[in-house]
């Protein structure tokens, strides 16, 4: 995949190129090659590209209003900042991975709150759908049309940098051009099943996630030393230990000596392992270089609408329901809408933290408004409620009955290697202390999500519902999952 490195904004007609990349054309861009599994050379690899045209397309960004957080006062919410500092220069936030599920909602939310926003994305998530024969339940516009529509509705500009953060030359230019005060990092391959399809996807996931994050850290050190990194981690880093899960660190006494150490990690896929390595790299650079960072260990996200994405159909977010990228509650609601039994893996006792996507954007805003100190590595567990898979299935069944849907549940063989019945109690107080007001899972929210799924049920491909990736059966041979 050859992808031009572009910088554009949300105006309807990008200006002509005003600047070319000053460096040599060689780069370390990730190129994806996808072939049929019958080919002996089939692979999904990272390789160098050569003689790429690198152009920067820019137009003048409009100024919004946002004030810096006052570290000496009580935590600020975005609305408090907006009202208290209406004449201040807007803070700049780079949203890496801003075309994705969480990233798009976050970029719009921050722009709406008065931040000056730039999106950095290589659009590879859309490529995954084409490779695997998948599609979002909701039709989603191109990133260019999304940003243009946002401009037309709000008058607010979002800059767009199209390129791969694994290419440090591209990322450097983006940092030098935009000069972010905060970098929100969603730009990773985010699916555990995807990382377990075959060797090539496992390698891609680890390379893309670990090297990409390392590049972000080096870019901050070289070009934006005061920049605050807000990194999306995952609660899956912790696993399911038989003790309470703390927020990032645990104080232990051993042989008469006491210390506070990073909480033990028990990742359960090559994706989760990449996140663990990210956390270690970020913690190290905070200590060695004085990087300021907040690691948001997020639970399972559900929902599709935020105030901003609901403004126009071209701003709609993606909603994945397949067995590779779909999350549990979103999958269940789509399954109920089309009359497919809810697919509970194994015994269904798997318990995790969950949160509404509206709370994802709120948590990111709170982390930005109350940044870490130089050299500080903070960990916040980002979720609002805990549910087992069986509990979610019962909630969806009850909500479906109110809408006249006959919802059934069936247990299917668990494709993952995980405990199906276990203790789970994770702490999550730090974001609440900063002012998080959660949207808890309610009957009205489930009704809304189910009605949304019913609205688009004609777009559902039932062949994509059942799990197709086995943790134990993955191998070195590249697989093709689409029919």
Question: Taking 60 as the threshold, does the pLDDT of residue 11 lie above it?
Answer: no
Nearest-angstrom CA–CA distance, 447 and 442: 9
Q: Taking the chain, what is the end-to-end CA distance rounded to the nearest angstrom?
A: 22
Q: How confident is the model at residue 88 (pLDDT cuts 50, 70, 90)?
A: confident
pLDDT of res. 21: 37
Model pLDDT for residues 92-126, shown as the tens digit of each residue: 999 999 999 999 999 999 999 999 999 999 999 99
Residue range 440-453: average pLDDT? Answer: 96
Residue 331, class by beta-carbon neighbours within 10 Å (0-12 exposed, 13-18 middle, 19+ buried)? buried
Nearest-angstrom CA–CA distance, 67 and 90: 6
Q: Which of 76, 50, 68, 57 is nearest to 118 (CA)?
A: 57
Residue range 56-62: average pLDDT? Answer: 34
Sign of CA dihedral 183, 308, 147, 50: positive
Q: Lowest-confidence range among 74-78, 279-283, 450-454?
A: 74-78
**Is residue 274 within 8 Å of residue 209, measured between CB atoms?**
yes
Question: Taking 50 as the threshold, does the pLDDT of residue 148 lie above it?
Answer: yes
Half-sphere exposure of 419 (CA within 13 A, CB side): 14
**Is residue 272 within 8 Å of residue 237, measured between CB atoms?**
yes
Instruction: Write the CB contacts of 437 (distance below 8 Å, at least 6 apart in sequence).
Output: 362
Model pLDDT for residues 193-229, shown as the tens digit of each residue: 999 999 999 999 999 999 999 999 999 999 999 999 9
Question: Taking 70 as the threshold, does the pLDDT of residue 45 lie above it?
Answer: no
Mean pLDDT of the chain: 87
Q: Which of 212, 204, 158 is nearest to 186 (CA)?
A: 212
Question: Taking 90 as the threshold, does the pLDDT of residue 176 lie above it?
Answer: yes
User: Per-domain residue ranges for the chain?
Assistant: 92-464
- pLDDT > 90 in the chain, percent: 81
Work out the angle at residue 367's Cα, subtended by the Cα atoms of residues 100 and 225, and round it to the nearest 5 degrees: 90
Query: Out of 3.30.499.10, 3.10.20.90, 2.60.40.2580, 3.40.50.720, which CATH number does the structure's domain 92-464 have?
Result: 3.40.50.720
Q: How confident is the model at residue 480 (pLDDT cuts 50, 70, 90)?
A: confident
- pLDDT > 70 in the chain, percent: 81
Place of tokens 């549990």: 328
Model pLDDT for residues 297-335, shown as the tens digit of each residue: 999 999 999 999 999 999 999 999 999 999 999 999 999
Place of tokens 């201040």: 88
Catalytic residues: 234, 271, 275
Work out the angle at residue 178's Cα, subtended by the Cα atoms of residues 162 and 52, and round it to the nearest 5 degrees: 35
Residue range 157-162: average pLDDT? Answer: 98
Nearest-angstrom CA–CA distance, 444 and 442: 5
Work out the angle at residue 47's Cα, subtended by the Cα atoms of residues 45 and 53, and round it to the nearest 5 degrees: 130
Model pLDDT for residues 219-254, shown as the tens digit of each residue: 999 999 999 999 999 999 999 999 999 999 999 999
């Amino acid at each position: 995949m050859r992808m031009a490195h572009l910088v554009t904004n949300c105006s309807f007609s990008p200006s002509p190129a005003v600047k070319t990349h000053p460096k040599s054309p060689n780069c370390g861009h990730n190129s994806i090659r996808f072939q049929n599994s019958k080919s002996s050379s089939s692979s999904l690899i990272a390789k160098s590209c050569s003689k790429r045209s690198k152009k920067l397309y820019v137009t003048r960004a409009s100024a919004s209003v946002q004030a810096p957080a006052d570290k000496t006062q009580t935590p600020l919410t975005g609305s408090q900042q907006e009202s208290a500092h209406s004449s201040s220069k807007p803070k700049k936030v780079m949203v890496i991975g801003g075309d994705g599920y969480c990233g798009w909602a976050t970029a719009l939310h921050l722009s709406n709150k008065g931040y000056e926003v730039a999106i950095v994305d290589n659009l590879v998530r859309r490529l995954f759908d084409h490779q695997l024969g998948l599609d979002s339940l909701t039709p989603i516009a191109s990133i260019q049309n999304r940003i243009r529509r946002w401009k037309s509705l709000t008058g607010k500009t979002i800059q767009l940098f199209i390129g791969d953060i694994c290419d440090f030359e591209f990322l450097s230019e983006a940092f030098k051009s935009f000069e972010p005060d905060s970098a929100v990092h969603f730009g990773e391959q985010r699916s555990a099943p995807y990382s377990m399809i075959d060797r090539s996807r496992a390698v891609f996931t680890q390379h893309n996630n670990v090297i990409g994050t390392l590049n972000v850290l080096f870019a901050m050190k070289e070009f934006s030393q005061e920049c605050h990194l807000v990194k999306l981690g995952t609660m899956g880093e912790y696993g399911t230990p038989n003790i309470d899960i703390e927020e990032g660190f645990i104080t232990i006494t051993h042989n008469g000596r006491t210390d506070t150490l990073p909480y033990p990690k028990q990742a359960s896929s090559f994706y989760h392992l990449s996140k663990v390595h990210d956390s270690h790299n970020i913690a190290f650079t905070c200590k060695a270089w004085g990087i300021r960072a907040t690691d948001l260990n997020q639970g399972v996200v559900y929902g599709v609408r935020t105030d901003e994405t609901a403004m126009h159909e071209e701003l709609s977010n993606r909603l994945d329901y397949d067995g590779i990228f779909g999350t549990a509650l979103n999958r269940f609601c789509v399954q109920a809408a089309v009359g497919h039994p809810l697919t509970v893996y194994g015994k269904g006792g798997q318990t995790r933290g969950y949160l509404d996507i509206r709370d994802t954007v709120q948590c990111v805003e709170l982390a930005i408004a109350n940044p870490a100190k130089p050299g500080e590595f903070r960990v916040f567990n980002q979720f609002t409620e805990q549910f087992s898979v069986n509990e979610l299935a019962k909630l969806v069944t009850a909500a479906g009955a109110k809408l006249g849907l006959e919802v059934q549940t069936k247990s299917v063989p668990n494709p993952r290697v995980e405990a199906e019945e276990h203790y789970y109690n994770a702490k999550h107080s730090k974001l609440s202390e900063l002012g998080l007001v959660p949207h808890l899972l309610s009957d009205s929210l489930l009704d809304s999500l189910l009605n949304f799924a019913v609205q688009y049920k004609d777009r559902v491909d039932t062949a994509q519902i059942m799990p197709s990736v086995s943790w134990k059966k993955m191998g070195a041979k590249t697989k093709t999952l689409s029919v």
